[in-house]
Chain A
Amino acid sequence: DAKTTQPPSMDCAEGRAANLPCNHSTISGNEYVYWYRQIHSQGPQYIIHGLKNNETNEMASLIITEDRKSSTLILPHATLRDTAVYYCIVRDPAMDSSYKLIFGSGTRLLVRP
């Protein structure tokens, strides 16, 4: 079962920042937070992951709270092409069961013109 909770849908205006929250209150010390997105008719696309520190790459920023019970994915300047379903996943790479990603329902982000 998914160990994360995300709002089912969000929207934002094109050019503005999109902030997508994820709750993972039962996260363990060795579990990483991964974000993927899935644009219609495509496979999930890896965005970013982190353990405890904030992370940034060319696609997005990941902000993890100090207690690690929640995180926020930030798309700094959303475009229409960012309209997708965004999945937040927690995973401990050292666990025997780490081979599988457990996807929840995700957040459907709509970027408005």
Chain B
Amino acid sequence: DAGVTQSPTHLIKTRGQHVTLRCSPISGHKSVSWYQQVLGQGPQFIFQYYEKEERGRGNFPDRFSARQFPNYSSELNVNALLLGDSALYLCASSLQGFSNQPQHFGDGTRLSIL
């Protein structure tokens, strides 16, 4: 079975631009989460969506937004890019909300800001 897929795998942008990252969850998974991983650190939670509703938001500015589509895929949007937004952006999916089942991660989109 296909795992979590993310696109693109790599992206280079300049300061002030906008970026959209995409994620397709594992088939049957209804929850999608987004994480940011800066070099040398563990992933930091950005958003979770479940059944197309935002369920949680981490400590990130309003420049970061996301949405989930009826097929449970998701997009992460970042406006007015800053140099500090350079990171690996990870998407994770899980079966449902309140469950002990684990989140499964994709291999991420590596975003570089010049």
A binds B: yes
Majority secondary structure, A binding face:
loop
Find out whether the CB atom of A105 lies under 8 angstroms from the CB atom of B42. Answer: yes
How many residues on A have C-beta within 8 angstroms of the other chain's C-beta atoms?
25
Give the docked Cα–Cα distance between A73 and B36 (Å).
26
| Nearest-CB residue, chain A, relative to B96 | A93
* B residues in contact with A49, CB < 8 Å: 100, 102
Instruction: Mark interface residues in A25-49 (1 if CB within 8 Å of B CB, else 0).
Output: 0000000101010000111111001
Q: Which of B4, B100, B104 has the most CB of A within 10 A?
A: B100
**Which residues in B have some Cβ–Cβ distance to A below 8 Å?**
4, 31, 33, 35, 41-45, 48, 50, 55-56, 58, 90, 92, 97-100, 102-108
Q: Which 5 interchain pairs have the tightest Cβ spacing?
A: A103-B42, A43-B105, A100-B45, A99-B48, A99-B56
